[in-house]
Amino acid sequence: MEKLDYEVIVIGVSTGGMKALGEIIPELPLDFPSPIAIVQHLHPCSDDFLVTDLNERSKLTVKQADEKEKLKQGFVYFAPSNYHLLIENDKTFSLSVNDLVNFARPAIDVLFETAAEAFKEKTLGIVLTGANHDGSQGAKKIKEYGGLVIVQDPESAEADIMPRAAIEAAKVDFVLDLDKIVDFLLKKI
């Protein structure tokens, strides 16, 4: 089976994200080749329970992204609560407290758009369950730069608004149930 070469995987998730990410991240092997950056919509005062929980259950190292940290294979990076997570052209993270985007900080669109600009066609974006339109414009930007976009099947999402918005905004490549997203990542990446 042909393997695909992506230098970064960006994931956007909101309502129902803890369950969705809990079905994907722990299934990835230690030698998974692409770094993963995630925006999970959080309350501004949220603790790091999700990061800690996933790190304990995963083979990959799961952590909050730090300012100027370089993306590395074997890591899953989360946007800290109340910070936008951006990827710079030098393939490092930056954190921002700029205005809310789509009523959120961190915003999925911010991560997706900056990843697309930094990694171009080597970007794979995944839009999971959520109850707003965040991620739809970022998915569109990833497609404009030649990257690949996967969206969770709205029928299987705890909240279907975000997946539906991404499907309407961009010519997504795949609409898959969570288990099929895991299969895709394991077989194709």
Domains of the chain, CATH where assigned:
8-188 (3.40.50.180)
User: In whole angstroms, what is the distance from residue 173 CA to residue 167 CA?
Assistant: 9
- pTM, whole model, 2 decimals? 0.97
- Give pLDDT tens digits for 100-151: 998 899 999 999 999 999 999 999 999 999 999 999 999 999 999 999 999 9
E-assigned strand segments in the chain: 8-13, 36-40, 61-64, 75-78, 84-87, 93-96, 123-127, 148-152, 174-176
Catalytic residues: 14, 41, 134
Tens of pLDDT, residues 68-93: 999 999 999 999 999 999 999 999 99
Please tell me whether residue 130 adopts helix, strand or coil conformation: coil
Please report the pLDDT score of residue 16 as a whole number. Answer: 94
In terms of phi and psi (left: phi > 0; alpha: psi -120 to 50; beta: otherwise), the region of 179 is: alpha
